[in-house]
Amino acid sequence: MIGLGRFGFHLAGALTALDQTVLAIDRNPDRVQRWADTLDRVVQADATEEGVLRQLGVADVQRAVVAIGASVEASVLTVLALVELGVPQIWARATSAKHAKILASVGAHHVIFPEAETGERVAHLIISRMLDFIEFDDDFAIAKLPTPESLVGRSLRSLTPADRHGIRVVGAKVHGESFRYATEEMVLERGSMLIVEGGIAQVQRFATLD
């Protein structure tokens, strides 16, 4: 993890919670000191220098994340250094479309817009009854939402959600039980939660059903 701003630190913490060993690098000594006791290994260094990264053993990692947001130049130079080291997967944070284009052109395998992606996700949650929402490329989304009252007591076979609403019910969860994969015989229960997938607009419309 290169860059320990708010995004970088939270991502490093989440990876640590998933039992991943994280080497965190930042040139700011205050950040390094702040997170030294929280993360596995925190080093103060200039990640734009290929030689520095090589000395830290970065050439041996399988995945690197460049979470630098304050300096476009530093993030681009860091990605270039990682490319030179032959890191198999390079994830890089972009702050603008132009920044993203540059990162991709110099070798970043995955470019992410954390602020924009979070904003879009929250917007979908605010204007609907959805409890969670994940948007993918090519106009596809997965959402978690309460079962609409108008559908309670009916089976998926009779509802034909794919034909009527353009979505597919993947699974359902009744309070106190685990999620179950959906079948045509499944009868929707009051208070249950549904996992649905489909086009973004179709999922959004389905989430507005009463």
Distance CA 70, CA 95 (A): 9
Q: What percent of the chain has pLDDT over 90?
A: 64
Over the stretch 175-201, which tens digit does the pLDDT of each residue have? 888 899 999 999 999 989 999 999 988
Average pLDDT of the residues in 47-74: 94
**By three-state DSSP, how is residue 10 classified?**
helix
Does position 121 have pLDDT exceeding 90, yes or no? no
| Residue of 77, 84, 137 whose CA lies nearest to 103 | 77
- Domains in the chain and their CATH numbers? 6-112 (3.40.50.720), 117-206 (3.30.70.1450)
| pTM (2 d.p.) | 0.68
φ, ψ dihedrals at 198, nearest 5°: 160, -165
Looking at residues 6-25, what average pLDDT do you find?
A: 90
Please give the average per-residue pLDDT across 50-71, as a whole number.
94
If pLDDT is split at 50, 70 and 90, which confidence band does 122 have?
confident
What is the pLDDT of the chain when averaged over all its residues? 91
Which residues, 6+ apart, have CB-to-CB distance to 175 below 8 Å?
A: 191, 192
How many residues in the chain?
210
Q: What is the pLDDT of residue 124?
A: 77
The yes-or-no verdict on residue 41 having pLDDT over 80 is yes
| pLDDT for position 113 | 87
Return the H-helix or E-strand segment holding 159.
helix 156-159
Q: What is the mean pLDDT of residues 170-174?
A: 90
